[in-house]
Every structure is written in C-alpha cells, then in structure tokens.
C-alpha cells in the first residue's frame, strides 16, 4: 500500500530534496526539526510525527512527565489572558499579571505534571494566548 502512495504522489524537486535530507536525519534530529517548524509556523505536528515514527523508536523514547508551560504571546484578548494567568499564578496582582502577559514569553508553570500542564495550556489557549509546553 505504501508503494501505491509513492507512485501516485509526485513531488517537486525542492520537496523531494527536503524529503531525501530528512531521511538522513536521526530520530532526535527529526524531533528537533519538527519542534523548529512548529515554533516557526505556530502549528503542531504531534499526530503526524507519531504516525511516522517507527514503533521500536517510539518505545525507546521515554515519555516526558514534567513540563514547563510557556506563555509565548498573550494574544489580542489581553483581559482574558490576564485573567487566565492570575488563575494559574494567584500570587500575581492585577498589575503584575498585566506586566507578565505583556512581557511574554514567560514561564507560567515549571515542572508541572502532564495533566496540570495540559489544563493550564487549554485555559490559556481558550483565553486567546499562544502557549508552548517544554
């Protein structure tokens, strides 16, 4: 079935050159490339990357258990962003939270568990923020 896809998919010379270059990269290099592309274009390639990774390589990589939640940009809804940050960082007053959002990128949570990091990311994104987990 994979051969059928290869036959029906014609790539430009530029794209084929990139594909050939990626084939020569190690799994760690590909991971770094994906991260760089995600940062550059503001997208997530998590699902396609997992589908493309060989099963043996996926088993060899340890799952990350602690994450830093990074506010990359407060977005256009500053009030919503400030409210979301204050929920996650209750020690910040209103003016401190405003400065925090305006001086993004900033680390909102450090060494948070997977569930807590995903919840924080979801809350910030719902407020219109751009968020990254590291």
Q: Is the pLDDT reported for residue 4 higher than 50?
A: no
Least confident piece of the model among 26-30, 66-70, 75-79, 98-102: 26-30
| pLDDT per position as a tens digit, 54-65 | 555 555 556 788
Q: pTM here?
A: 0.52
Q: Check: CATH 3.30.1390.10 for 66-133?
A: yes
Alpha-carbon distance 9 to 11, whole Å? 6
Alpha-carbon distance 6 to 22, whole Å? 16
Residues of the chain with CATH 3.30.1390.10: 66-133
Alpha-carbon distance 76 to 35, whole Å? 24
Q: Is the pLDDT reported for residue 5 higher than 50?
A: no
Q: What is the pLDDT of residue 31?
A: 74
Q: Burial-class residue 121 by CB neighbours within 10 Å (0-12, 13-18, 19+).
A: buried
Q: What is the pLDDT of residue 107?
A: 92
Least confident piece of the model among 35-39, 73-77, 109-113: 35-39
Q: What is the pLDDT of residue 1?
A: 46
Q: Burial-class residue 126 by CB neighbours within 10 Å (0-12, 13-18, 19+).
A: exposed
- Residue 104 — left, alpha, or beta (φ > 0 → left; ψ -120 to 50 → alpha)? beta
Q: What is the pLDDT of residue 72?
A: 93
Q: Is the pLDDT reported for residue 29 higher than 70?
A: yes
């Amino acid at each position: 079935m994979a051969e059928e896809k290869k036959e029906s998919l014609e790539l430009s010379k530029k794209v084929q050159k990139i594909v050939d270059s990626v084939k020569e990269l190690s799994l760690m290099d590909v991971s770094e490339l994906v991260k760089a592309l995600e940062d550059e274009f503001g997208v997530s390639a998590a699902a396609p990357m997992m589908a493309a990774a060989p099963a043996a390589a996926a088993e060899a990589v340890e799952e990350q258990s602690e994450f830093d939640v990074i506010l990359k940009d407060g977005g256009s809804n500053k009030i919503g962003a400030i409210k979301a940050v204050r929920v996650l960082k209750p020690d910040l007053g209103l003016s401190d939270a405003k400065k925090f959002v305006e001086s993004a990128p900033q680390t909102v949570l450090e060494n948070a568990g997977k569930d807590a990091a995903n919840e924080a990311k979801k809350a910030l994104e719902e407020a219109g923020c751009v968020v990254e987990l590291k």
